[in-house]
Amino acid sequence: MSVAALLNDLPFVQHMGIEVVEAADGHAVAELELAEEHTTVPSGPVAHGGVAYALADTVGGAAVISLHHRPTPTVDMRIDYHAPATDDLRAEADVVRDGGSVASADVRVESVDGTHVASARGVFKTGGSDDGGPWGAREDRDLE
């Protein structure tokens, strides 16, 4: 199963209406159609910050997983908000540095009209052993 397909199967990814459309060679793209449930302002479609973040964390993780073909949990992520999210979103992630312990990925989130909505940068755990790190039993899922 492709990395994209596996991620799109996850309950939270579906609950958020996120769709990973591409994830290979350290690069990933995901989309989200803005819906009522994403908003903070009932009078107009401005999305809660958690929407752009969920999209960024998902696509950032997808980019890293596409190089490691196993789960790579987020260690930390920072998101900067540049403009209100008032339309469908598209996010692109690129792995900036890939290491045996951690990888670093950059994410750009924009509106479908090209407006730069947010930027995110995350560190993901790529280390190979179950070493007493944050995520107990690692699942070595087969991601091709």
Examine residue 97 and tell whether it contacts a second copy (CB under 8 A): yes
Cβ neighbours of residue 141 closer than 8 Å, sequence gap 6 or more = 6, 70, 71
Identified binder of a second copy from the candidate list 4, 62, 91, 123, rule CB under 8 A: 123
Identified binder of a second copy from the candidate list 29, 79, 93, 143, rule CB under 8 A: 79
Examine residue 140 and tell whether it contacts a second copy (CB under 8 A): no
| CA-to-CA separations, 127 to 96, 100, 119, 121, 124, in angstroms, rounded | 17, 5, 25, 19, 9
Instruction: Of 48, 31, 138, give the one whose Cα is nearest residue 93.
Output: 31
- For 57, the enclosing helix (H) or strand (E) is helix 49-68
Region from 10-18, 19-27, 62-70 binding a second copy, contact rule CB under 8 A: 10-18
Binning the chain into helix, strand and coil, the percentages to the nearest 5 are 25, 35, 40
Q: Which CB atom, from 44 or from 144, has the smaller least distance to a second copy?
A: 44
Identified binder of a second copy from the candidate list 22, 30, 53, 68, rule CB under 8 A: 53
Examine residue 51 and tell whether it contacts a second copy (CB under 8 A): yes
How far is Cα 76 from Cα 57, in angstroms, rounded to an integer?
10
Residues engaged in binding a second copy (CB under 8 A): 9-16, 36-43, 46-51, 53-54, 57-58, 61, 73-84, 96-97, 99-102, 104, 106, 116, 119, 121, 123, 125, 127, 129, 131-136, 139
